[in-house]
Amino acid sequence: MQNENNLISVVVPAYNVEKYIEKCVDSLLQQELDCKYEIILVDDGSTDGTSSLIDSFAENNKNIYAYHKSNGGLSSARNYGILHSSGNLITFVDSDDYVSRTYLKDMLYLLQKYDADMSITKVVLRTPGQELRSVFSDFLVDRKEALYEVYCNDRISWLAVGKLYKREVFADVLFPDGYYEDQASSYKFIDKCDKVSIGDYRNNYYYIQRDGSISFSKFNPKHLRAFEICEEFSDYVKKTYPDMFYIVIMTCQKSVQLLLNRLVTTREEFNRIYYKYRGMFRSNAGSILKNSRIPTRSKIYYIVMCSTPFIYKLFSGSIQMLGTLKRKLMSYRQRQDG
């Protein structure tokens, strides 16, 4: 796959992000890359100044294309961008995030190094200017092992960002409507791949979680879509890889954990989420704790999630507090070093 023959399409869905999108686009225009790339901006029915901003970006740069559609949600905007893109390679960037100068270069290198169908890189929360240490080397897996890495191991995630796909992956599979579309679609995309390359380029993507996002909002019944996805994923694994059902159990755990940690809930709502899979967690505790492929950190959370909501709140609160203190300490050290 020669670089001169490649065109990377960067699909950026945008909805009411006038405060953030300029930084996102600027970071994409500064890519250090020896192949062509296009930036597909999709305005998903914004009601602020986002629409006029992306039009101005397109008017001033021949590599940027602006599209407008009625509001349909993140999946709808991504799918629209895919259909209007021209690249043989496709990646996604959220419009309130931004990337390093080597974001595309490193993902392309990782894809070409192993002649893979998809390359996946580590994406983590970090503050501007913060440099993180990479902890694992590049490697190649088949689709079965990629499923394990994305849904069970702690090295990478099911986020749509931080991934570069060959266009063929989207031939008959697109993003589904509704909440938690990344969790619902990653295994379907992986299923279209023979080879998936994985690398730890965690300093390439500035993943921003701002107030009002789906992940940090008040509970509503739509959030229970996460459990529907768990059931869909369970059906897929049972049919395709029945020897790897532990991945389903760990995905259910991650789903419960994410909902409990990131939603504002009443006590009744909290308990409803907590107890959804506790019976399954308890009945499978022995096999999960003995499984050497499951990370130690996940096992610790698993034990706690077999207990009670009160114990979980105490444990989770302590972990979050330690995380906050660690980030403040790192920020302080960086200011001192600077």
Cβ within 8 Å of residue 295, ≥6 positions away:
153, 154
Mean pLDDT of 268-281: 97
The DSSP bridge pattern shows strands 196-199 and 139-141 to be antiparallel
- The stretches of the chain forming alpha helices (DSSP H) are 21-29, 50-60, 74-83, 103-113, 143-151, 181-190, 225-240, 245-262, 267-274, 278-283, 285-290, 296-304, 309-337
Percent of the chain scored above 70 by pLDDT? Answer: 92
Mean pLDDT of 272-295: 97
pLDDT band at 183 (very low <50, low <70, confident <90, very high): very high
pLDDT in tens, 133-160: 889 999 999 999 999 999 999 899 999 9
Mean pLDDT of 54-73: 97
pLDDT of 245 strictly over 50: yes
Instruction: Name beta bridge partners: 163.
Output: 120
Cβ within 8 Å of residue 293, ≥6 positions away:
148, 152, 153, 246
Average pLDDT across the chain, whole number: 92
Q: Where in the chain is the domain with CATH 3.90.550.10?
A: 3-206
pLDDT of residue 216: 57
pLDDT of residue 326: 66
The DSSP bridge pattern shows strands 118-121 and 196-199 to be parallel
Instruction: Name beta bridge partners: 41.
Output: 12, 66
**Which has more confidence, 214 or 226?**
226
The CATH H-level (homologous superfamily) assignment of domain 3-206 is Spore Coat Polysaccharide Biosynthesis Protein SpsA; Chain A (3.90.550.10)
CA distances 223 to 15, 142, 270, Å, are 20, 32, 12
Handedness of CA 178, 299, 141, 34 (dihedral sign): positive
pLDDT of residue 2: 65
HSE, side-chain direction, 13 A CA sphere, residue 261: 16
pLDDT in tens, 199-219: 999 999 998 765 544 445 789
CA distances 236 to 179, 193, 230, Å, are 19, 16, 10
